[in-house]
Structure 1
Amino acid sequence: MNHEILKANLSDIPELCEMMKDFYAIDLYPFDEKEAAANFVKFLDNDSYGNCFKVVFEGRIAGYIILVKYFSFEFGGEILFLDELFIKPEFQGKSLGKKALEFVKDYSVENNFKIVLLEIENHNEKAKKLYENYGFQNHKRSLMILKN
């Protein structure tokens, strides 16, 4: 299988935004392309936020991974949040999701992150099963949000 996972760069932003738009459409999340592009510029330009990676299959961008770094006393230090993982529909079924999770796991170990957190839509059984196969477990808490 001819795949690579590479750090995204500024020239990837239009394609990253296009994939993000498709990803958000699955669950009818609002999407503002200008805001997303500006956030990618900010995010890609500051390693302290985390990293964005592109999943490349046979020379074409097949998906992306966004990993956000933060610090948690509860979890013992620096942790990694798998903010987004998306594989384009035409590239699904090629084990790229599995390869992406292997990459995330290796990246977290190599960079001494204590844990990897993620959030998942409750209805997404396929993704939940994939994550569970890589050792992710349901946490006893629920995610809450306060919008400003």
Structure 2
Amino acid sequence: MSAALTLAKPEHLNSIAALCAAFHAEEGITQTDETRRAALEPLLGGSPYGVVYLIGPARAPIGYIVICFGWSVEFGGLDAIVDELYIRPGVRGRGIATEALIALPRALSEGGLRAIHLEVDRDNAAALKLYRRAGFAPREKYMFMSRVL
């Protein structure tokens, strides 16, 4: 099974929204379909704030990655956060997520990206192993914090 990345477009909204709903249900994220679609739609239409990549065949994706862009003086310019990464349960454990995360910097480097960040539960050993295999390292002095507005 291939972890090929395809930049998602507006015509992929239904597929991505379904995958996203499955991910949110799995993670216990409460959100309406309307809110979910409204958050995804701009990223499919060329928004400067981020992109969505389909994982696997575009007409029948097995997962997706949402990337949100930012700017970092510390990292010297454009950076990104992996906001969501989801692989269908039936195809997990085959290295697809690792392959996708390794391919991601190649897909984004032409745009001048300097760093990619992500958030992970410190107690999720499988996710930590996956992210380390893909080249991510913890920043021991730092903790990701949020304030919902």
Is the TM value for this pair above 0.5? yes
Q: How does 1:32-47 map to 2 (within 5 A)?
A: 32-47=32-47
RMSD of equivalent CA atoms: 1.9
Amino acid at match of 1:147: V
Contact 1:108–1:116 under 8 Å retained in 2: no
Aligned residues: 148
Identify if the C-alpha distance between structure 1 residues 3 and 76 changes in structure 2 by more than 3 Å, giving closer, same or farther: closer
Matched position secondary structure for 1:141: coil
CA distance in 1 between counterparts of 2:35 and 2:2 reads 33
Contact 2:3–2:100 under 8 Å retained in 1: no
CA-CA distance at 1:72 after TM superposition: 1.1
Q: How does 1:128-139 map to 2 (within 5 A)?
A: 128-139=128-139
Match of 2:75 in 1: 75
Match of 2:143 in 1: 142
Query: By percentage of residues, which structure has more strand?
Result: 1
Contact 1:52–1:64 under 8 Å retained in 2: yes
Q: How does 1:44-123 map to 2 (within 5 A)?
A: 44-57=44-57, 60-123=60-123
TM-score by length of 2: 0.88
TM-score by length of 1: 0.88
CA distance in 2 between counterparts of 1:58 and 1:50 reads 19
Give the gaps of 5 or more residues in structure 2: none
CA-CA distance at 1:101 after TM superposition: 0.7
Matched position secondary structure for 1:46: coil
Residues 19-41 of structure 1: CA distance to partner in whole angstroms, max 9, x if unpaired?
A: 11221222311122101111222
Give the gaps of 5 or more residues in structure 1: none
CA distance in 1 between counterparts of 2:75 and 2:2 reads 36
Identify if the C-alpha distance between structure 1 residues 59 and 43 changes in structure 2 by more than 3 Å, giving closer, same or farther: closer
**Same amino acid, percent of matched pairs:** 24
Amino acid at match of 1:76: G
Match of 1:27 in 2: 27
Contact 1:62–1:88 under 8 Å retained in 2: yes
CA distance in 1 between counterparts of 2:3 and 2:29 reads 29
Match of 1:126 in 2: 126
Identify if the C-alpha distance between structure 1 residues 110 and 33 changes in structure 2 by more than 3 Å, giving closer, same or farther: same
Amino acid at match of 1:142: M
